[in-house]
């Protein structure tokens, strides 16, 4: 079993798709280990996306991620990191395969409904950024 980290982004929460996305993830075999709805501050969102600091879209991305509530999730299943990336679809919904979460719910390359960690090492860092070890291991 492997854990990964995911965020239902402000666009999908605002459009009322958070429940559909959670159901989609459970249908794909992910167990919800930890879950929290919150609104990210500029410093928390900026820190989370620090790896993209030099990218032209960084400021816009951080503003978007703070515009409304998000749902933070720790998810578990076999091969969770890779499987979540498949289920999410391509970053740009225009390139996402039919049936993927981004194809179904994303608006644009930035407002793309969901985040998922890109590697096991990133998943460990991102899980620890938002959840305590007690939250990740209690249930």
Give me the residues that bind ligand CMP (CB under 6 A), please: 52, 57, 61, 91, 109-110, 112, 115
Q: Which of 62, 114, 115, 130 is catalytic?
A: 115
* Through-space distance between the first and last CA atoms of the chain, rounded to whole angstroms: 14
Instruction: For the CB of residue 109, give the shortest distance to ligand CMP in the complex, in Å.
Output: 5
For ligand CMP, the closer CB: 125 or 137:
125
Instruction: For the CB of residue 80, give the shortest distance to ligand CMP in the complex, in Å.
Output: 15
For ligand CMP, the closer CB: 14 or 137:
14
Instruction: For the CB of residue 100, give the shortest distance to ligand CMP in the complex, in Å.
Output: 13
| Partners of residue 66 on adjacent β-strands | none
52 is catalytic: no
Q: Which residues carry out catalysis?
A: 115
């Amino acid at each position: 079993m492997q854990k990964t980290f995911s965020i239902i982004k402000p666009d999908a929460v605002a459009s009322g798709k958070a429940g559909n996305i959670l159901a989609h993830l459970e249908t794909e075999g992910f167990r919800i280990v930890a879950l929290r709805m919150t609104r990210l501050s500029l410093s928390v969102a900026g820190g989370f996306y620090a790896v993209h600091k030099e990218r032209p879209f960084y400021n816009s991305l951080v503003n978007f991620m703070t515009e409304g509530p998000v749902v933070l999730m720790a998810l578990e299943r076999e091969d969770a990191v890779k499987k979540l990336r498949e289920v999410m679809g391509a970053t740009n919904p225009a390139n996402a395969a039919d049936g993927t979460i981004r194809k179904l719910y994303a608006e644009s390359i930035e407002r793309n409904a969901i985040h998922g960690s890109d590697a096991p090492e990133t998943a460990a860092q991102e899980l620890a950024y938002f959840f305590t070890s007690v939250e990740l291991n209690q249930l």
